Structure 1
Amino acid sequence: MALHTDSAHSSGQVLPFRESLLATLGICFVIMLVALDQTIVGTALPTIVAELKGFELYAWVATAYLLTSVITVPIFGRLGDYFGRKPFVIASIIVFVGASALCGMANSMLFLVLARGLQGIGGGMLVGTCFASVADLFPDPRVRLRWQIILSVSFGIATAVGPSLGGFLTQGLGWRWVFYCNLPIGVISLFFVWRFVPHIRHMQHAGKMRLDWPGALLISLSLGSLQLLVELLPKRGVTSGMLVLLAVSVAAFYALWKWEQRAAQPILPFEMLRDRALASLFLLSVLAGFAMFSMLMYAPLLFQGGFGLSPREAGLLITPLVACITVASIVNGRIITRIPNPNLMMNLGFALIAASCLGIVLCDRVTGKGFLLAVMLAGGFGLGLVLPNLTVFAQQAAAREHLGIATALLQSLRMIGGMLGTAITGTLVSQMYGAGVEKALEGDHAAQWLKDFSDPEVLVNHDIQSVLLAQLMQAGHDGSALLEAAREALVGAIHMGIAIAIVAALVGLWMVRRVPPIRFDQDKKVEPVMSE
């Protein structure tokens, strides 16, 4: 049965206030499920590896999740356009929670990696459908921005408490509870989504709907190859295997482009790229992801390994970066609809991101904590102005039948930008740090210690440092000077990587002008259909 809700839709939301609040809470719990998992697992990883004895698979705990989630985000974003998003949100919660239980029961690193891959499928389904569900509930972007404040707060809370909660659970109850804690949140989110989120479909097909399986396969092959390439490149360098992965990814992207042009019901409609606003927003999402993940991944290593700060001191400096994303999102939602040119908010956001990256490049070991704090605040505030506006602008620019895939592509492209940023900076760290350490060791006739210095972890872990310094002193070498040379090499490498992030942010600042002015006073006059 189909129900039209004319009066509710005319007010900017398809449900009355109470039902809208309960449905939004359901989506908030889903968002918290994914956000919490992104930050809680890293804290427990060293303990997990120590118990399961599989250090060679350490990185794959994160890589397996990213690999499958990057692939599934655009696929299920498009399927949500066709069939409505509620069934896929429900299925994704079940898959994610079930995979979390399997992760908690893992008795080997291989089992954990496979379970994390399954969890990534659920996470990709969640991201691909959940964010577009907000636009379904609140077609008017002005109303949607007000409600998105609740989503931003829930995401920020989950992200902020993740690392601390991971440490508490690992020490108090054991690392398995890092995964088991997803179960109660999943059950709550499943109840709210099942009970209160309506099943809305915007695309009605007269004939039988056929899934674009070749398109889905080509998306999987192209994005999967790209993910593997950017994950392995920093560790292995440019090898024949890396070139093969690059060739496979490029060939699959080209085949996808050719196939989708003649597919009757394409899973990835490239016609969206002909829209100047959407094409510009997609590129801006890549650039924002590049700068964001470059800072999030390597600023902590710079502070601890390069500047010698304790984990607690580094954590206190990084917290404003994460927290300000939420604060700026809330501020943005309050003022974006009240200014004549909303695009100016993204200009300001990219300018702040560029300034923050520049501040990171200029700082050194003697830089005051106040300056570092200001740099992190600027970066977080800039990201908080850019990320929500990319989503809202794309949802306003996209045709209603493309709303889900446009929203999902923004998330995927941000992740791809993040992968590229971390891969490039990771490669620079591996190459420049390795070269700097090798030069210093050879200068002190201590080349035999290269293996001990090869991993920057030696600059973070004080226990390893103490043992190494004692061994170097016993062998007649100036261990403190060699460690200082290693720190300088690490700082130079990370500074170079962040400098590339500055370029990405400045290109984003320039690209914002290509986005046609977004008008929030123009609502899409398309009535959703709610299926019972």
Structure 2
Amino acid sequence: MAVHTAAHHSSGQVLPFRESLLAMLGISFVTMLVALDQTVVGTALPTIVSELRGFELYAWVATSYLLTSVITVPIFGRLGDYYGRKPFVIASIVVFTAASVLCGAADNMLFLVLARGLQGIGGGMLVGTAFACIPDLFPDSVVRLRWQVLMSSAFGIANAVGPSLGGFLTQYYGWRSVFYVNLPVGLLSLFFVWRFLPHLRHVEHEGKMRLDWPGALLIAVALGSLQLFVELLPKHGVTLSAFALLALSVASAYALWQWEKRCPTAILPVDMFRNRSLAALFTLAVLGGFTMFSMLFYAPLLFQGGFGMSPKEAGLVITPLVVFITIGSIANGRIVSRVSNPNLMLYIGFSLVALSCLGIVAATRSMQQWVLMSFMVVGGLGLGFVMPNLTIFAQQTAGREHLGIATALLQSLRMIGGMIGTALTGTLVSHLYASGVRSALDNANASHWFTDLGDPQILINRDAQTTLVDQLTHAGHNGAMLLESAREALVGAIHLGLAMAAIIAVVSVWQSRRVPPIKLQRKLEPVIHAD
């Protein structure tokens, strides 16, 4: 067993340049796998739902993935701290790629939701371990920022081609191909990680580690019941079962807090939440996730369902959002190590995200495409300024011992924010859309057509629209006008949902002042090379 000391390399990295580059390529392909999946599926989702017929499960295609990954991220973040991250990165690629194949083979919405849940387990393992490999390889935070550009670029390339690729594949090869596209990327990342990523373990974790299973179970119950409550509430109001789910979630969260205070190998180190700086960063991760996922999931539905764009056109308009996340990250890497107050980037980033949301809220169908795309550019830049800094600041503050769990928690909390965001925005959208359509149909004395028009998927499926308009006209109603009313109801509903996201972004700007001034220090510490 060779001991590598980070100080051996004057540039503040554990491995020489060539090995560092190849290892980082492996991690970058892994990142690409997760990013590609999130963006490609977002664009294809309206088409998937119209074919598999199950709008009531629309949010669950995203939610099941988020829920299982949220639970697994902290578990594997902690395990990686103890046993080294390489074995878990390899296992996660295998699980994620296999689950992608199952998603592509789904013949109904429930099967797809379950396969997405399995994919989320793989995704959670990936995020929990791959992101924390970077500070292992580059203990010096300034050097790390430079190398992180490689990962941001991979993330960006995947995000950039994602929406257009999703639209293109869906239109020409069917929606199943958007899942099968993960297969070549998965195999490529497996090769690089297996061959070039070193198995690094930290010196202080030589003993056997006991995993905190009660903690893991309590996290699963608390988050699962919260998710179900958020989904049920707008559909059925305050019912006994909704109230029971909320009570279960609160009770589990309280039990988790009490248990983790006493558990010697806590999966959630409670002292991290007592750290003022980390607590503020964690809050920002939740708020950032809420806004980001609301935009990523409901902007495509607005452009396709509300404005009548094809999947390909909608993909093209969404593309600048994800391209500029990368450009923002790269620019941020250059700026943040040069300014005296790195915290400033958080204020600028969240302000841009708020502006972008407000732009989408003001968007109309007659607006030119370049105007819509410029709103996307602003949002992407904002997210590019926020996301890498939250990670670097948290790693800087948490220190070596809690590095993996801090990185994992940050990603988890961003996903929890996303889960709450997509669920709340989603339930608000379906509720407002349904009531808008119902009143339009009532006015036209056509309320019995609600089953056909009450589901927004009709606004994406062109063939179904033509058939329905013919049937309505045949029955003596103005079919085109009723369809237009449904479109207006959807646009109004999504506008309100994204206005809520804009408010959350403004709250994030205000919340950023709670982060104590961060200083990017150079730290070089020994690690054990366990290959």
TM-score above 0.5: yes
Where in structure 2 are the equivalents of 1:295-374 lying within 5 Å? Answer: 295-374=295-374
1:158 equivalenced with 2:158 (yes/no): yes
| Structure 2 partner of 1:88 | 88
- C-alpha displacement at 1:97, in angstroms? 3.0
- C-alpha displacement at 1:236, in angstroms? 5.1
- C-alpha displacement at 1:471, in angstroms? 2.2
- C-alpha displacement at 1:102, in angstroms? 4.6
| Structure 2 partner of 1:471 | 471
- Does structure 1 retain, via aligned residues, the 8 Å contact 2:50–2:457? no
| Structure 2 partner of 1:414 | 414
Supply the AA of the counterpart residue of 1:527. Answer: P
| Structure 1 partner of 2:14 | 14
Count of residues in Structure 1 that have an aligned counterpart in Structure 2: 531
- C-alpha displacement at 1:350, in angstroms? 0.5
| Structure 2 partner of 1:495 | 495
| Structure 1 partner of 2:396 | 396
- Does structure 1 retain, via aligned residues, the 8 Å contact 2:168–2:311? no
SS in 2 for 1:204: helix
- C-alpha displacement at 1:64, in angstroms? 3.5
Where in structure 2 are the equivalents of 1:268-287 lying within 5 Å? Answer: 268-287=268-287
1:77 equivalenced with 2:70 (yes/no): no
| Structure 2 partner of 1:119 | 119
In structure 2, the CA distance between the partners of 1:52 and 1:476, relative to structure 1 (3 Å rule), is closer
SS in 1 for 2:529: strand
More deviation in 472-481 or 351-360?
472-481
Mapped to 2, the partners of 1:293 and 1:103 lie a distance apart of 21
Mapped to 2, the partners of 1:409 and 1:210 lie a distance apart of 19
| Structure 2 partner of 1:129 | 129
| Structure 2 partner of 1:243 | 243
Residues 314-361 of structure 1 show CA distances to partners (whole Å, capped at 9, x for unaligned) of 322211111111111111111211111111111111110111111122
- C-alpha displacement at 1:170, in angstroms? 6.3
- C-alpha displacement at 1:300, in angstroms? 2.0
In structure 2, the CA distance between the partners of 1:367 and 1:55, relative to structure 1 (3 Å rule), is closer
In structure 2, the CA distance between the partners of 1:494 and 1:219, relative to structure 1 (3 Å rule), is same
Mapped to 1, the partners of 2:188 and 2:347 lie a distance apart of 39
Where in structure 2 are the equivalents of 1:77-226 lying within 5 Å? Answer: 77-103=77-103, 113-166=113-166, 178-202=178-202, 204-205=204-205, 208-226=208-226
Residues 412-438 of structure 1 show CA distances to partners (whole Å, capped at 9, x for unaligned) of 111111111122221221222222222
Structure 1 residue runs without a partner (length 5+): none
- C-alpha displacement at 1:91, in angstroms? 1.9
SS in 2 for 1:340: coil
Residues 209-264 of structure 1 show CA distances to partners (whole Å, capped at 9, x for unaligned) of 22211111111222222333444555555443333322222211111100000001
Mapped to 2, the partners of 1:110 and 1:249 lie a distance apart of 24
- C-alpha displacement at 1:307, in angstroms? 3.0
- Does structure 2 retain, via aligned residues, the 8 Å contact 1:63–1:231? no
Supply the AA of the counterpart residue of 1:80. Answer: G
1:23 equivalenced with 2:12 (yes/no): no
- Does structure 1 retain, via aligned residues, the 8 Å contact 2:134–2:144? yes
- Does structure 1 retain, via aligned residues, the 8 Å contact 2:47–2:461? no
Mapped to 1, the partners of 2:68 and 2:515 lie a distance apart of 31
- Does structure 1 retain, via aligned residues, the 8 Å contact 2:395–2:407? yes
1:506 equivalenced with 2:516 (yes/no): no
Residues 166-199 of structure 1 show CA distances to partners (whole Å, capped at 9, x for unaligned) of 5666677776654444344333322322232222
- Does structure 2 retain, via aligned residues, the 8 Å contact 1:290–1:419? yes
Mapped to 1, the partners of 2:53 and 2:452 lie a distance apart of 21
Mapped to 1, the partners of 2:507 and 2:382 lie a distance apart of 15
- Does structure 2 retain, via aligned residues, the 8 Å contact 1:82–1:203? no
More deviation in 14-23 or 110-119?
110-119
1:527 equivalenced with 2:526 (yes/no): yes
- C-alpha displacement at 1:93, in angstroms? 1.9
- Does structure 1 retain, via aligned residues, the 8 Å contact 2:357–2:501? yes
TM-score (norm 2): 0.92
In structure 2, the CA distance between the partners of 1:232 and 1:115, relative to structure 1 (3 Å rule), is same
SS in 2 for 1:210: coil
- C-alpha displacement at 1:501, in angstroms? 1.1
More deviation in 266-275 or 26-35?
26-35
- Does structure 2 retain, via aligned residues, the 8 Å contact 1:234–1:423? no
TM-score (norm 1): 0.91
In structure 2, the CA distance between the partners of 1:430 and 1:58, relative to structure 1 (3 Å rule), is closer
- C-alpha displacement at 1:132, in angstroms? 0.7
Supply the AA of the counterpart residue of 1:19. Answer: E
More deviation in 192-201 or 261-270?
192-201
Mapped to 1, the partners of 2:165 and 2:487 lie a distance apart of 30
- Does structure 1 retain, via aligned residues, the 8 Å contact 2:231–2:427? no
Supply the AA of the counterpart residue of 1:523. Answer: R
More deviation in 1-10 or 115-124?
1-10
- C-alpha displacement at 1:150, in angstroms? 1.0
- C-alpha displacement at 1:374, in angstroms? 1.9
In structure 2, the CA distance between the partners of 1:94 and 1:312, relative to structure 1 (3 Å rule), is closer
- C-alpha displacement at 1:56, in angstroms? 7.7
Mapped to 2, the partners of 1:242 and 1:39 lie a distance apart of 31
- Does structure 2 retain, via aligned residues, the 8 Å contact 1:305–1:490? yes
- C-alpha displacement at 1:52, in angstroms? 8.0
Mapped to 2, the partners of 1:301 and 1:93 lie a distance apart of 30
Mapped to 2, the partners of 1:103 and 1:294 lie a distance apart of 23
More deviation in 325-334 or 59-68?
59-68
Supply the AA of the counterpart residue of 2:530. Answer: S
Mapped to 2, the partners of 1:50 and 1:495 lie a distance apart of 22
Supply the AA of the counterpart residue of 1:529. Answer: I
More deviation in 215-224 or 504-513?
215-224
Structure 2 residue runs without a partner (length 5+): none
SS in 1 for 2:211: coil
In structure 2, the CA distance between the partners of 1:463 and 1:53, relative to structure 1 (3 Å rule), is closer
Supply the AA of the counterpart residue of 2:384. Answer: G
In structure 2, the CA distance between the partners of 1:166 and 1:300, relative to structure 1 (3 Å rule), is closer
- Does structure 1 retain, via aligned residues, the 8 Å contact 2:235–2:431? no
Mapped to 2, the partners of 1:511 and 1:47 lie a distance apart of 38
More deviation in 445-454 or 89-98?
89-98
